[in-house]
Amino acid sequence: MDAQRQPAARGLVVVLAGPSGVGKSSIAHKLIERHPHDYVFSVSATTRPPRPGEVDSSDYFFLTPQTFQRWIDEGRLLEWAEYNERRYGTPLPFVEAQLAQGHVVLLDIELQGLKQIVEQEKVPVLSVFVMPPSLEVLAERLRNRRTDAEPEVARRLGIAQHEMRLGPMLAEYPVVNHDLNEATDEVEALIEARRDEAAEAQGELP
């Protein structure tokens, strides 16, 4: 850890929002590869069933609708949203524990969740809306994943059109994912600039 910056100034929640298939999780994983001891990925809770190869408590917390509702009622979610008839949310205790250690917590969430995060005052947040170069490129990426049938791809593209109109107005910074490494560089620069601002405000930088 940089001796000039204390954990309180370094802790930051980074919201990566954007359409399904745009590359949010790929950017998050690249950031963690670059900063394995400093950046962490927030494991979301969801009511959707696991896809082949997904592991409970590692890829997602796979919950029943009843358990998910209980987590909402108990205030255990920083944000939650319904997307494509499934619920997704960010467990708050995990996020708070990571911030206390001065880590960057990366969230891969949908537009409804972004709106809740932007409006809350519980944790420090940097919000980024990741966009595809075009809807045609996004369609190709969704099909190349081979995780959804064509009707589901069409459904996700319809949702994406709506998100691409509203997302840039909700998030602080839009980042177009033309190239994964370049998009990761851009997000990384935004994160470190925000952390420097926080450290300077607290008198922790010379």
- In order along its 206 residues, the chain shows pLDDT tens digits of 444 445 555 899 999 998 888 899 999 999 999 999 999 999 889 999 999 999 998 889 999 999 999 999 999 999 998 877 899 999 998 899 999 999 999 998 878 888 888 888 889 999 999 999 888 888 888 887 777 778 888 888 888 888 898 899 999 999 999 999 999 999 999 999 999 998 888 776 55
Alpha-carbon distances of 86 from 46, 59, 81, rounded to whole Å: 7, 16, 8
What per-residue confidence (pLDDT) applies to 15? 95
Please tell me the pTM assigned to this model: 0.82
Tell whether 29 is covered by a domain. Answer: yes
Tell whether 3 is covered by a domain. Answer: no
Domain assignment of residue 105, given as a range: 8-201
Count of domains in the chain? 1
Tell whether 2 is covered by a domain. Answer: no
Tell whether 107 is covered by a domain. Answer: yes
Tell whether 145 is covered by a domain. Answer: yes
What per-residue confidence (pLDDT) applies to 6? 54
Tell me, what CATH number does 18's domain have?
Answer: 3.40.50.300
Tell whether 185 is covered by a domain. Answer: yes
Tell whether 1 is covered by a domain. Answer: no
Q: Where are the beta strands (DSSP E) in 3-162?
A: 12-17, 39-41, 44-46, 60-62, 77-83, 86-91, 104-109, 125-131
What per-residue confidence (pLDDT) applies to 1? 41
Which secondary-structure segment (H or E) carries 175?
Answer: strand 173-176
